């Protein structure tokens, strides 16, 4: 699968993080390079007390001299175990479920009163970026004053989410855009009912702002 990807990719290197959408426990990342031997030529220190050249087995098994870190956990083992358990079709279904939930969230709020999407069009992945506008600022005519108030909304709602322990959604500013919610759906155990609850909870916690 990855070989086919590289064949069609013009990049010389690709970073792959199975600990994200594939839900492999942290940390599990890979740096894939096109040129064979590149990692070893960049990172090897020729530590003779570790990587003796006269060992009785195939020296290609000594992978420590290829990486920035020499001694580390075998992070790839977690991915191997999960792939054995779920299979490619299982991972595909898991990621498709997250994409389906993201589209469901987008469709629920794009025309709902009190919500504005940060970007035009349907999200291309599982990140759904939006503002929640409490009733008190929806009809403000002064754009700068409205922007100033809106910037404070997401942090307050996030704090209340944490205090109540009901849910938690990240927020951030971006360029000239004030703080907005950035909902990243990566838990395949989530349900449509969870998305409905999230929307209602944001409205409940932010109605007085």
What are the tens digits of pLDDT across the range 85-138?
A: 999 999 999 999 999 999 999 999 999 999 999 999 899 899 999 999 999 899
Residue 13's pLDDT is 87
- For 12-71, what is each residue's pLDDT tens digit? 888 888 888 888 888 888 888 888 888 778 877 777 777 778 878 887 777 777 777 776
Does 6 score more than 60 pLDDT? no
Q: Which two tokens stand for residue 62?
A: 């000594």
Residue 2's pLDDT is 52
Beta strands per DSSP E along 70-197: 115-117, 127-132, 170-174, 177-184
d(CA 194, CA 149): 28
Q: Report which of 135, 138, 129, 117 is spatially closest to residue 183, judged by C-alpha positions.
A: 129
């Amino acid at each position: 699968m990855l070989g086919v990807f590289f064949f069609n990719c013009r990049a010389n290197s690709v970073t792959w993080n199975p600990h994200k959408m594939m839900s492999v426990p942290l940390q599990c990342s890979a740096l894939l390079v096109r040129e064979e031997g590149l990692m070893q030529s960049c990172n090897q220190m020729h530590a003779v007390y570790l990587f003796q050249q006269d060992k009785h087995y195939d020296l290609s098994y000594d992978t420590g001299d290829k990486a920035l870190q020499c001694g580390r956990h075998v992070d790839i083992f977690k991915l191997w175990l999960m792939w054995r358990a779920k299979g490619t079709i299982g991972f595909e279904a898991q990621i498709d479920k997250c994409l389906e939930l993201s589209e469901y969230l987008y469709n629920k709020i794009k025309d709902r009163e009190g919500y504005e999407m940060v970007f035009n069009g349907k999200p291309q992945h599982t990140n759904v970026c939006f503002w929640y506008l409490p009733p008190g600022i929806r009809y403000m005519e002064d754009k700068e004053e409205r922007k100033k108030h809106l910037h404070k909304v997401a942090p307050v709602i996030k704090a209340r989410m944490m205090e109540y322990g009901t849910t938690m959604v990240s927020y951030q500013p971006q360029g000239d855009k004030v703080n907005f919610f950035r909902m990243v759906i990566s838990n395949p155990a989530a349900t449509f009912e969870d998305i409905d609850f999230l929307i209602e909870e944001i409205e409940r916690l932010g109605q007085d702002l």
